[in-house]
Amino acid sequence: MPRRNFYKAVIFNIEGLVPEAERITCDAWKRASGGLGYPMQEVVARTAAGLLPADARRFLKNFFGPEFPFEQVYVRMTIVRDAYIRNWTIAVARGARGVLAALRALQIPKAIASWSDAQATEMLLGRTDLFQHFEAVVSRDDLTFGGGWEDMYTIAALRLGVANEQCLVVEKSDSGVRSAHSAGMTVMMLADARTPTEPFPHAYYAGKSVTGVARDMIPLLDTQRSTGLIPRSQFALP
Position 238 scores a pLDDT of 32
Last residue of a domain, one of 48, 67, 87: 87
Query: What is the count of structural domains for the chain?
Result: 2
Same domain, 82 and 157: no
The reply to whether 3 falls in a domain is: no
CA angle 157, 160, 161 (to 5 degrees): 85
The whole-angstrom separation of Cα 196 and Cα 99 is: 23
CA distances (Å), origin 50, targets 22, 89, 114, 206: 9, 23, 10, 23
Last residue of a domain, one of 87, 116, 141: 87
pLDDT in tens, the chain (238 residues): 566 668 999 999 988 899 888 899 999 999 999 999 999 999 999 999 878 888 899 999 999 999 999 999 999 999 999 999 999 889 998 889 999 999 999 999 999 998 888 999 999 999 999 999 999 999 988 887 556 778 899 999 999 999 999 999 998 777 788 888 889 998 888 766 455 555 555 566 656 678 777 788 888 887 754 433 333 344 333 3
Same domain, 26 and 96: no
For residue 184, is it left (φ>0), alpha (ψ between -120 and 50) or beta? left
Last residue of a domain, one of 72, 87, 102: 87
Same domain, 109 and 221: yes
The reply to whether 68 falls in a domain is: yes
Position 38 scores a pLDDT of 98
Same domain, 29 and 142: no
Range of the domain at 127: 9-18+92-235
The reply to whether 1 falls in a domain is: no
Position 188 scores a pLDDT of 86
Model's pTM, two decimal places?
Answer: 0.83
The reply to whether 4 falls in a domain is: no
DSSP string, 105-131: HTT--EEEE-SS-HHHHHHHHHHTT-G
CB half-sphere exposure, 233, CA atoms < 13 A: 0
Same domain, 106 and 48: no
Task: Identify the CATH number of the domain in which residue 143 sits.
Answer: 3.40.50.1000
